[in-house]
Amino acid sequence: MKAFGVVTATDSRHALALMAEHGAAARILAGGTDLLVDFKSADDPPRVVIDISRAEDLRGVSLSDEGLRIGALVTHAELTRSPIVRELLPAVVEAAHSIGAVQTRNLGTLGGNLMSCVPAMDSGPVLLALDACVTVANAAGRRHMPLEQLFVGPRKTSLAADELLVEIVIPKETLGKPCAFEKFGLRKGQALALVNVAAAFRVDRRNDSVLAPRIALGAVAPTVIRARQAEAYLDERPISAEVIAEAGRIAASEAAPISDFRASADYRRDLIAVLTKRALNRAGMRAQRDAKESAR
């Protein structure tokens, strides 16, 4: 690994000032679980690394009028332990728990996982299924955008060189929406997903039909994607095994998986159909449980 300088930011404003000072020669370090691995094989590593791990204003999980705010520096382990997240967003806990080993979850951050733009990331699908937004800052102020707009391609985001991801927001109307996350890898733990899927929907109790469905897929395209055709098929249809199975088949047809040394494209398409079905069924079970609890 080639040598590089390190400067530590005290908060997000300081980080932005350091980014403006060092420009394209700098990279941001949060947990470092992805970045330091990249540096070992990089032909042209950065001259300066800006360490934002001590920026307390980028931490914390809290409720606001907009929804649930998750600071970009919240670790995967913190998500699994958060009472608010466990109560309102159990699928987020499932996704966080599937990431790496204990050491990785203790260091790795949600913001860093998203900014890596790895198609197989585990946090992306569940947050897309919950209509998450992100807040991005630069020297001029802050802007908000849907999470989906962050992803451009493998290892590439839509952020400018002077912009910093500061928080992820789950909209208020989405909190508590039944959602489930499914992942398939070559082993039980510490595995990169061959396919991962998140599904969320509400249920119209008048006729047991699907409302506002969301299906998000990882590791099957250049970025994490929404299966919009499958969502459109599901919307307002009565819940049944046949309908859910067909949604899985449609989702598989929307993806563009590759063949590599871990799995063929055809195998990944089969996994999409199976995991989408499982995620939708588990989201439906959560909807039934929530209905029973609210009726008490």
* CATH classification for the domain delimited by 179-295, as one of 1.20.144.10, 3.30.390.50, 3.40.190.10, 3.30.230.10: 3.30.390.50
Q: What spatial distance separates the first Cα and last Cα of the chain, rounded to whole Å?
A: 60
Beta carbons within 8 Å of 287's beta carbon, 6+ residues apart:
178, 201, 202, 203
Token pair for residue 296? 């008490």
Instruction: Provide the CB-side half-sphere exposure for 166 (13 A, CA).
Output: 22
Residue 255 CA: distances (Å) to CA of 8, 111, 201, 226: 41, 25, 20, 9
Q: Which pLDDT score is estimated for 186?
A: 87
Q: What percent of the chain has pLDDT over 70?
A: 97
Shared fold status for 56-174 and 179-295: no
Domain boundaries, the chain: 5-51, 56-174, 179-295
Cα(3)–Cα(99) distance, integer angstroms: 29
Q: Which pLDDT score is estimated for 41?
A: 65
Average pLDDT over residues 107-132: 96
Question: What is the residue whose two structure tokens read 């970009």?
Answer: 72
* CATH classification for the domain delimited by 56-174, as one of 3.30.565.10, 1.20.1250.20, 3.30.465.10, 3.40.1500.10: 3.30.465.10
Average pLDDT over residues 95-106: 93
**pLDDT by residue (tens digit) across 47-99?**
889 999 999 999 999 999 999 999 999 999 999 999 999 999 999 999 999 99
Class of domain 5-51: alpha beta
Neighbours of 141 (CB within 10 A): 7
**pLDDT by residue (tens digit) across 128-171?**
999 999 999 999 999 999 999 999 999 999 999 999 999 999 99
Average pLDDT over residues 222-235: 98
Q: Which pLDDT score is estimated for 248?
A: 98
Residue 293 CA: distances (Å) to CA of 84, 157, 201, 287, 290: 18, 41, 18, 10, 5
Average pLDDT over residues 110-116: 96
**pLDDT by residue (tens digit) across 229-245?**
999 999 999 999 999 99
